[in-house]
């Protein structure tokens, strides 16, 4: 049996190919949802939209400090793992859910498989960096998306036999779910948008939205972009970001602030945007796969491959750099080679897990 533990929107999306492969092969598995994202719009709607089975277990941990949230997840995960006794627990990414589930499983002597292993920003001030490093070093199977990620793991002394380069499940997810989105939604029509004639924005990172000065600079940069290009800026607002914007009392007249979209709608918006501005790691990957320029509002990234191939540019939280980055990105020609694989990562991961089962 495989235990699949997830807790946030990106994890649901990137685990969807793994879940579908388990279904296709008839493998015994269960889904445990920590509830780290705790609103219907931010996570549960994705199970419905992506035609995925409902989680077998939901912890509904909600918000809290990093320590409190992690501890609550560990306790809940441990209870389920003791009950189910899976052979392998799969986690994906770098959230508190990932680290908590990996630690709980490891202490119960249950093997851990870390999907998207080996990503490094080399910035220990990021909570996500601590989560991904700790998870990698207690995992039994490290599913690295690229050779760069594999090199990071080897440089930290992780045995080569534990590492498998699979590509990134984001490629599988984009291909599979873009097909679903075309059948179910038409968000450009609903918002009266023309392809390549709008910008798309996401912002949720703690270092951006909880820092008043940085958030003000980001909003100033978006305002400058809107005034120069005279194109709509669609900004689906994360609940934390919305709260901070209200606290700042800054005018956002030039922005089309919306509630968070479902993934199918968001994927369509990504695929047709002129440029996407984001601080999300997953969005950097998705735009790369879709052939859409990305401007990342951070000063470092654990997705260096996107910088190397020219699909992404770092603009930080500086209004001048944001405008300059968008100017540059609008001139790019798509056609870069996607570094994240050919869309079979989910199959490779389950194949490794199945081969590792005790006889």
Among the listed residues 116, 115, 89, the one whose alpha carbon sits nearest the alpha carbon of residue 102: 89
Give the Cβ contact number of residue 188 at 10 Å: 19
Going by the DSSP 8-state scheme, the letter that residue 161 receives in this structure is G
CA distance 334 to 200: 17
Q: Which residues pair with 278 in a beta bridge?
A: 296
The three-state DSSP-derived secondary structure of 303-345 is CHHHHHHCCEEECCCCHHHHHHHHHHHHCCCCCCCCCCCCCCH
- Gap between the Cα atoms of 302 and 124, Å rounded: 12
Catalytic residue among 114, 137, 204, 238: 204
Helix (H, G, I), strand (E, B) or coil at 5: strand
In three-state secondary structure terms, 279 is coil
Q: How far apart are CA 285 and CA 55, in angstroms?
A: 26
- Determine contact, residues 17/11, Cβ cutoff 8 Å: no
In the block, tokens 């879709």 appear at 290
H or E element in which residue 261 lies: none
For residues 144-164, one letter each, b for 16 or more C-beta atoms within 10 angstroms of the residue's C-beta and e for the rest, the string is bbbebbbebbeeeebeeebbb
Instruction: Assess whether 238 carries a catalytic annotation.
Output: no
Q: Compute the distance between CA of residue 309 and CA of residue 338 in angstroms, rounded to an integer.
A: 8
Cα 106–Cα 107–Cα 109 angle in degrees, nearest 5: 65
Q: Which two tokens stand for residue 23?
A: 């279904």
Radius of gyration of the chain (CA): 20
Contact (Cβ atoms closer than 8 angstroms) between residue 277 and residue 64:
no
| Catalytic residue IDs | 204
């Amino acid at each position: 049996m495989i235990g699949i533990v997830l807790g946030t929107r990106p994890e649901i999306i990137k685990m969807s190919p793994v879940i579908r492969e388990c279904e296709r092969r008839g493998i015994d598995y269960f889904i445990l949802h920590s509830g780290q994202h705790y609103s219907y719009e931010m996570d549960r709607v994705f199970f419905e939209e992506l035609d995925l089975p409902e989680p077998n277990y939901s912890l509904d941990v909600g918000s809290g400090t990093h320590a409190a949230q992690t501890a609550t997840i560990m306790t809940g995960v441990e209870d389920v793992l003791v009950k189910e006794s899976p052979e392998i627990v799969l986690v994906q990414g770098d959230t508190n859910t990932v680290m908590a589930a990996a630690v709980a499983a490891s202490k119960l002597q249950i093997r851990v498989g870390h999907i998207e292993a080996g990503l490094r920003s080399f910035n220990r001030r990021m909570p996500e960096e601590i989560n991904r490093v700790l998870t990698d070093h207690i995992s039994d199977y490290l599913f690295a998306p690229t050779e760069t990620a594999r090199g990071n793991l080897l440089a930290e002394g992780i045995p080569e036999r534990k590492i498998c380069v699979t590509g990134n499940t984001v490629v599988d997810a984009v291909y599979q779910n873009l097909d679903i989105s075309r059948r179910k939604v038409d968000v450009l029509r609903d918002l009266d948008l023309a392809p390549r004639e709008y910008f798309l924005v996401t912002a949720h990172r703690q270092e951006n939205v909880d820092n008043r000065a940085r958030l003000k600079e980001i909003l100033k940069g978006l305002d400058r972009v809107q005034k120069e290009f005279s194109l709509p800026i669609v900004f689906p607002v994360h609940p934390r970001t919305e709260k901070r914007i209200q606290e700042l009392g800054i005018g956002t007249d030039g922005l089309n602030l919306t509630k968070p979209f479902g993934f199918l709608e968001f994927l369509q918006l990504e695929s047709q945007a002129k440029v996407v501005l984001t601080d999300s790691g997953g969005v950097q990957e998705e735009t790369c796969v879709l052939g859409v320029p990305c401007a990342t509002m951070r000063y470092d990234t654990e997705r260096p491959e996107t910088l190397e191939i020219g699909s992404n540019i770092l603009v930080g939280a500086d209004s001048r750099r944001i405008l300059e980055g968008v100017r540059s990105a609008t001139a790019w020609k798509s056609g870069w080679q996607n570094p994240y694989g050919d869309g079979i990562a989910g199959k490779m991961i389950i194949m490794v897990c199945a081969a590792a089962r005790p006889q």
